[in-house]
Amino acid sequence: MQQININTSFTVFESVNELPQDIQALMEQAVAIRKKAYAPYSKFRVGAALLLDNGQTVLGSNQENAAYPSGLCAERVAIFQSGAIYPEAKILKMAISAASDTNETKSPIPPCGACRQSIYEYEFKQDADIEIYFMGESGAIYKSDSIKNLLPLSFDKNFL
């Protein structure tokens, strides 16, 4: 028997003001679209903003449905929209902000498992890392240089 250790690394910014200017702007867009999320059931709103290599920004917010699990997370809304509108563009950076209508979220909130897999699929497809910045409503922001930090044992088409 052997043991495998997997290490991940994140950069921590104590506030939005510490972020590089372009990421501040991207996070502001994630916060703005988060406020437009359709979340009548969970009361948990998420916004995602993607910066593409063609200079375009694509936004997404979570969209819930009474026929659970028919809704879709903000990250996947944004990723799938970018794939539909700009299929040849690479995603360079992603900013995510999450907030609850019932309590303040002060800790960085990462993408769920389904979103991690979707982000991985696009990172694999474009053969280039996606920088991911995520935060709650306020407080620290975590930066991951790649989805591989959040999903170190990834499943891709090579297993099929």
Total Cβ atoms within 10 A of residue 42: 15
Residue numbers annotated as active site: 75
Domains contained in the chain, CATH given = 13-151 (3.40.140.10)
Q: pLDDT tens-digit profile of 8-58?
A: 999 999 999 999 999 999 999 999 999 999 999 999 999 999 999 999 999
Write the DSSP string, 17-64: GGS-HHHHHHHHHHHHHHTT-B-TTT-EEEEEEEEETTS-EEEEE-B-
pTM exceeds 0.85 for this model: yes
**What is the per-residue burial (b if ≥16 Cβ within 10 Å, else e) of 17-35?**
eebeeebbebbbbbbebbe
Q: pLDDT tens-digit profile of 123-160?
A: 999 999 999 999 999 999 999 999 999 999 888 888 88
